[in-house]
Chains A and B, each alone.
Chain A
Amino acid sequence: MTVVATNDDTPRASLAGPADYIALLKPRVMSLVVFTALATIIVAPGSMNPVFAFTALLCIAIGAGAAGALNQWYDADIDAIMTRTRTRPVPSGRVTRQEALEFGGVLAFGSVLCMGVLVGYLAAALLALTIGFYLFVYTMWLKRLTVQNIVIGGAAGALPPVIAWAAATGSVAAPLPWLLFLIIFLWTPPHFWALALAGSEDYARANVPMLPVVKGARATRNHILVYSLIVAPVALAPYALGLTGPIYGAVAALGAAAFVVLAAMLWRASAQAERGAALRLFAYSIFYLFAIFTALAVERLLGFAPGA
């Protein structure tokens, strides 16, 4: 390859390594997505061939990662301003925006194609819907526009159990996957607002209309408490409706109680203690989601789930 060097804009070969491309996939978000999908496949009726189950999870993981990469392509300007995100591959200059777009686009297309051909077309359509919703509705439209950005955008993160159910059963005409959707959907706002509360200056500088920036800390704490009170009964609904067994019921009840307690502690916290209380709730919210989906899967594997 011959490139004539004329000035400081000399084209340089990329210094990005495989780790930078893995970072584009937002592996931590991916892990939560894959875990909820895995638990749903385990709890779905019938026994799915492990090969197809693995393939479905792989497609969901890659699809979620692709959405993360496309988000980092579109949001490079915001990510460069925020302390939490400025070391990401695109703002730090290791990967160009164009490369992130191509990488995310190819993986999004590939994951949907593989899901369709290898697993099923309903699951593929739902995966495409999820990626499209995250990119077009959340990232491009709502995130910079409205304080309700993550409330509505949370639907994208909540869909993986529905995709997994579709992959396992070929249908989504059952109440359980939609209840799981609802749990994650309602869990997302308090989860994100707790994080936003701890880093609201960051969002303010980047001009992202997160709740603490627009309505202030007090209103955010109120919202978090209200949402925690809504999530609690919804998380118990699968047990109350007889769709899950007592293990899930106990974990969901205890977990929800702790969620409400932590939200109440944040609600009552002094201004100095706010950040600590918010980060505690944020960390706990991740644990809580893992815990209820673990209970769901373990219960089914141990034979305590109804119909298991």
Chain B
Amino acid sequence: MELTPEEQRKRSQRNYAIAGVLLALVVLIFVVTIAKIGGNIASRPM
């Protein structure tokens, strides 16, 4: 199936949107992890 230029453009937009959402999810889980661990990292016994 040949994609028309318009279909190609929309597919590319969707791909970028999905990439953005996945990236945001990674950042969210990272930040929540840090927040949950909180000060315990700094105060752990060395």
Contacts and interface: CB of A to CB of B under 8 A. Distances in A.
B35 A17 contact: no
B41 interface: no
B40 to A, nearest CB: 14
Contacts of B35: 49, 51-52
Nearest to B38: A49
Contacts of A49: 35
B1 A17 contact: no
B17 A5 contact: no
What range describes how many residues of B lie at the interface?
10 to 19
Nearest to A55: B32
18 contacts: A2-B1, A3-B1, A10-B1, A11-B1, A12-B7, A13-B3, A13-B4, A13-B7, A14-B11, A15-B7, A17-B10, A18-B16, A21-B17, A51-B31, A55-B28, A114-B28, A118-B29, A118-B32
A308 interface: no
Interface of B: 1, 3-4, 6-7, 10-11, 13-14, 16-17, 28-29, 31-32, 35
A146 to B, nearest CB: 38
Given A18-B14, A52-B32, 12 more contacts: A2-B1, A3-B1, A5-B1, A11-B1, A13-B4, A16-B14, A17-B10, A18-B13, A18-B16, A21-B17, A52-B35, A118-B29
Nearest to A51: B35
Contacts of A3: 1
Nearest to B29: A118
Contacts of B28: 55, 58, 114, 118
B38 to A, nearest CB: 8
Query: Ordered nearest first, which 7 A-B pairs have the shortest CB separation?
Result: A51-B35, A18-B17, A13-B7, A3-B1, A118-B32, A17-B13, A17-B10
What range describes how many residues of A lie at the interface?
20 to 34
A302 interface: no
Contacts of B10: 13-17
A1 interface: yes
Q: Is the interface of A mostly helix, strand, loop or mixed?
A: loop
A13 B8 CA distance: 8
Interface centre among A2, A17, A114 (most CB of B within 10 A): A17
Contacts of A55: 28, 32
Interface string A49-85: 1011001001000000000000000000000000000
Contacts of A15: 6-7, 10
Given A3-B1, A5-B1, A12-B7, A17 B32 contact: no
Contacts of A5: 1
A183 B10 CA distance: 42
Nearest to B4: A13
Interface in A1-29: 1-3, 5, 10-18, 21
Contacts of A14: 7, 10-11, 14
A13 B11 contact: yes
